[in-house]
Structure 1
Amino acid sequence: MNPSNPLVAEKRNTSCPLVFLINVDWYFLLHWRERALSARDNGWDVWVITCITDAKFRVEMESLGFNVVDVPISRHSINPLVELKVFRAVARALQSVNPAILHSVTIKPICYSLLINKVSRFPVVLSFPGLGILRSESKVSRCVWWFLRTLLGKKYVNTSVSATFENHDDRSFTQDKGLLFSHSEVVPGAGVNLQRYPLLDQKKEGVEVRVLFASRLLRSKGIAKLVNAVGQLVEEGYPIRLVVAGIADYSHSDGLQESELKIIRSKFYVDWLGQVDDMLPVFEDCDVVCLPTSYGEGIPRVLIEGAACGRPLVATDVPGCRDIINQGKNGFIVPVEDQHSLVDALKILVVDSKLRNDFGIAGRAYVESNFSDQVVVSQVLSLYQRIIMKSI
């Protein structure tokens, strides 16, 4: 604990539960572990209410000092009976814990917590790590926006609901959709541990350039476009290879199926790594990080980590990617669905090792100033502290 922290000083001898409500265990460990650890070290009694997909993840969370509650959240279900069952489980868990703050992450937990907040009224923080499907015009998207406006529109202004977004575009987008919060702010991604992801040397000119794609294997993440772009450059004689470190998500409506992944794996210029737990050796082995996504991103973690390691970036002109890439300074932004521009950007980096190095150094400096875990953690803890001090 930090004895100089007003939260700790006020709450040292009383329980101050902070509950993370999040859809799945591995996502919490990948993106929220550092923030939860810092909260723990600053006097919070941290709880994680999530769907446990593997016993090892529960053991890991408990070994970090977190209290864990398993609830059967289904990320992609729209069955009302299933959702009612999950909602009841979440409500019972929250009633038992009685959180000082409930921090809900991603859209389903956000919807559950807003309903519960109507009765319980404990402070809620809603985190939108990208808007995903909410940027589409699908029937599901329209239904979710109606639900959110019903609970967060002008008629129902709630003074106990705060929100965080990973980029300014998403924050403005929700405001344009009519959502109102007692407080909202932009927190730049999950942050990156600068010691864990150091600045790495670039390879010398003339060596085969390895382009990394690391993401969930969704069609909208653009892997098919990248495979075609790299294939075109290989046919033209450029020394380039594609490295894929991806998590299959077969249950997602946009997820690539095994037959589609098999075709990608069969390409002679593709190195298939599958799911990777430790990304540092992958960044060491690669020269460029590319994410030609059309998905509703927050700020893609692979771009932050890649820039921290001194790797130039190539990504599409969508919210989130624009926040981490300074055009022509640490990477290239290309139009969505523009195969020609993607090929041209990769070609420039393949033939110019000095530019790759310059982009890498600039990207590292940009991450140090804006995306370190210290920056992110400090902002989140300040938000918690402001909320709890208001309620004392």
Structure 2
Amino acid sequence: MKIVIIGTVASSFLGFRADLIKSLLEKKHTVYAFTSEYSKEQLSLIESSGVIPVTYKLSRGGISPLADIKSIYELSKKIKKIAPGLVFCYFSKPVIFGTMAAKLAKVPKVIGMLEGLGYTFTEQPNQVSRKTRVIKKAQVLLYKIALPQLDKIIFLNSDDPKDLLDKYSIKVKQVEVLGGIGLNLEDYRYSSVYPTQPTFIFIARLLAEKGIHDYIAATKIVRNSYPNAKFIVLGIIDKKALGALTEEELQEVTQANIVEYPGHVNNVSEWIRNSSVFVLPSYYREGVPRSTQEAMAIGRAVITTDVPGCRETVVDGVNGFLVEKWNPQALAEKMIYFIENPEDIKKMGYESYKIAQEKFDADKVNKRLINMLGL
């Protein structure tokens, strides 16, 4: 069968979709990867993996009705030329516009996957901006148009269908919950070796909604009582994002030895292995955070927030702790728990590993996803 997969950034095909695509190719399907953000090198890498890359135009940010209608029409022509048996869209805009284009091209089966509801659906500690409220209204309207046309919609967690479909009365034919996009566990081998110094690691873009400010505030509380504890931050600064950690703020906490920031690294799994506990105090509308899955596969206990997506990764008190969002004090208390109960670092880390083996093994996840796609 010819299968069209519509995403946005080419790197997501090479990273997060590689195992799924490999499984589809092994089943002798012909796979087309539609990407709107790419480099020549990325297109070559996609092609060398046995997939046919197809480029298309779609603005990721903002909503321009005329430009979007034109994009749908142009996209539908490219899909119609291929005449696939299935179109599979992921990410918000491809799910909306890819679905409309696929229906226009009279594709027999169209399935979408939303990996979290994203920034516009993220509850903020302060008032949400007028622009965000307008974008959210427009997004909900477009979902109401597009999602009923899908043969099936797949979510990663059980909160998202409630907060999108039920809350806004969006009727869909069929809903499935996948539970995470999965990892190649060979790349994230279990390690029972821990540093002698209690070491906490945060891995995410340095955004307010990913919890970087709460993490830093909690480290300051912990260091007052346990100055030998070590805190690592991995992630990039987003200069355009509202409320993101600034370079000045980062420099201030690194120079004061509050956190260690090595900058860009290519060996994230090694940094996780050299840590004791993984911490992600995110309040972003995650699907299921990939960084947490990686830490769990390596065998690290997790402290994260009791919010949609994040709560899918922790059984409270078993492989880590769930804490209230926007609460650095609660976060600090759980870090201190691990410092004072070091035997639970290893015990809960092993429980994380067992959960990752069951829930996040790419082989198992891809089998579930391929079954959901009816292939």
- Structure 1 residue 166 and structure 2 residue 156: aligned? yes
Q: Counterpart of 1:21 in structure 2: which amino acid?
A: I
User: Which of these residues, 173, 177, 188, is aligned with residue 186 of structure 1?
Assistant: 177
In structure 2, relative to structure 1, the CA distance for the partners of 1:85 and 1:270 (3 Å cut) is farther
* Correspondence list, 1:83-232, <5 A: 83-84=68-69, 86-122=71-107, 123-136=109-122, 138-152=133-147, 157-158=148-149, 160-176=150-166, 177-203=168-194, 207-232=196-221
Per-residue CA deviation, residues 282-328 of structure 1 (Å, 9 max, x unaligned), is 21111111110110011101111111111000100111111110000
Instruction: Find the counterpart in structure 1 of residue 347 from structure 2.
Output: 358
Rounded Cα–Cα distance in structure 1 between residues aligned with 2:78 and 2:243: 31
Range that drifts further, 22-31 or 78-87: 78-87
Rounded Cα–Cα distance in structure 2 between residues aligned with 1:372 and 1:287: 22
Per-residue CA deviation, residues 58-112 of structure 1 (Å, 9 max, x unaligned), is 2322221111122343322334455345434433332232221111111110111
Deviation of 1:231 (Å): 2.2
State how many pairs are aligned: 364
Q: Counterpart of 1:35 in structure 2: which amino acid?
A: L
Rounded Cα–Cα distance in structure 2 between residues aligned with 1:282 and 1:67: 35
Rounded Cα–Cα distance in structure 2 between residues aligned with 1:78 and 1:358: 49
In structure 2, relative to structure 1, the CA distance for the partners of 1:47 and 1:117 (3 Å cut) is closer
Rounded Cα–Cα distance in structure 1 between residues aligned with 2:114 and 2:169: 15
SS of alignment partner, residue 40 of structure 1: helix
Range that drifts further, 35-44 or 267-276: 267-276
Contact 1:311–1:360 (8 Å) recurs in 2: yes
Range that drifts further, 134-143 or 300-309: 134-143
Rounded Cα–Cα distance in structure 2 between residues aligned with 1:40 and 1:262: 47
Deviation of 1:261 (Å): 4.8
Deviation of 1:255 (Å): 5.0
SS of alignment partner, residue 244 of structure 1: strand
Contact 1:77–1:83 (8 Å) recurs in 2: no
Q: Counterpart of 1:90 in structure 2: which amino acid?
A: L
Q: Counterpart of 1:195 in structure 2: which amino acid?
A: E
User: Which of these residues, 322, 335, 347, is aligned with residue 333 of structure 1?
Assistant: 322
Deviation of 1:189 (Å): 0.9
TM-score by length of 2: 0.89
SS of alignment partner, residue 347 of structure 1: helix
Per-residue CA deviation, residues 244-267 of structure 1 (Å, 9 max, x unaligned), is 221444455565555555555545
Q: Counterpart of 2:95 in structure 1: which amino acid?
A: I
In structure 2, relative to structure 1, the CA distance for the partners of 1:173 and 1:385 (3 Å cut) is same
SS of alignment partner, residue 182 of structure 1: coil
Per-residue CA deviation, residues 118-156 of structure 1 (Å, 9 max, x unaligned), is 42232111111011134247221121112212344xxxx
In structure 2, relative to structure 1, the CA distance for the partners of 1:201 and 1:45 (3 Å cut) is same
Q: Counterpart of 2:25 in structure 1: which amino acid?
A: R
SS of alignment partner, residue 226 of structure 1: helix
TM-score by length of 1: 0.85
Sequence identity of aligned pairs in percent? 23
In structure 2, relative to structure 1, the CA distance for the partners of 1:115 and 1:259 (3 Å cut) is farther
Rounded Cα–Cα distance in structure 2 between residues aligned with 1:266 and 1:90: 50
Q: Counterpart of 2:169 in structure 1: which amino acid?
A: G
SS of alignment partner, residue 191 of structure 2: coil
Deviation of 1:57 (Å): 2.3
User: Which of these residues, 31, 47, 55, is aligned with residue 62 of structure 1?
Assistant: 47
Q: Counterpart of 1:148 in structure 2: which amino acid?
A: Y
Instruction: Find the counterpart in structure 2 of residue 4 from structure 1.
Output: none
User: Which of these residues, 286, 293, 303, is aligned with residue 314 of structure 1?
Assistant: 303
Root mean square deviation, CA, Å: 2.3
Q: Counterpart of 2:217 in structure 1: which amino acid?
A: N
Rounded Cα–Cα distance in structure 1 between residues aligned with 2:35 and 2:336: 43
Rounded Cα–Cα distance in structure 2 between residues aligned with 1:94 and 1:374: 29
Rounded Cα–Cα distance in structure 2 between residues aligned with 1:222 and 1:97: 43
Contact 2:283–2:305 (8 Å) recurs in 1: yes
Rounded Cα–Cα distance in structure 2 between residues aligned with 1:256 and 1:229: 15
Per-residue CA deviation, residues 201-223 of structure 1 (Å, 9 max, x unaligned), is 2426xx32222111233220011
In structure 2, relative to structure 1, the CA distance for the partners of 1:60 and 1:344 (3 Å cut) is same
Range that drifts further, 174-183 or 256-265: 256-265
Q: Counterpart of 1:321 in structure 2: which amino acid?
A: C
Range that drifts further, 66-75 or 304-313: 66-75
- Structure 1 residue 240 and structure 2 residue 232: aligned? no
In structure 2, relative to structure 1, the CA distance for the partners of 1:87 and 1:379 (3 Å cut) is same
Deviation of 1:175 (Å): 2.7
SS of alignment partner, residue 357 of structure 1: helix
Rounded Cα–Cα distance in structure 1 between residues aligned with 2:188 and 2:310: 19
Residue ranges of structure 2 left out of the alignment (5+ in a row):
123-127
Instruction: Find the counterpart in structure 2 of residue 343 from structure 1.
Output: 332
Rounded Cα–Cα distance in structure 2 between residues aligned with 1:274 and 1:95: 45
Residue ranges of structure 1 left out of the alignment (5+ in a row):
1-15, 387-392
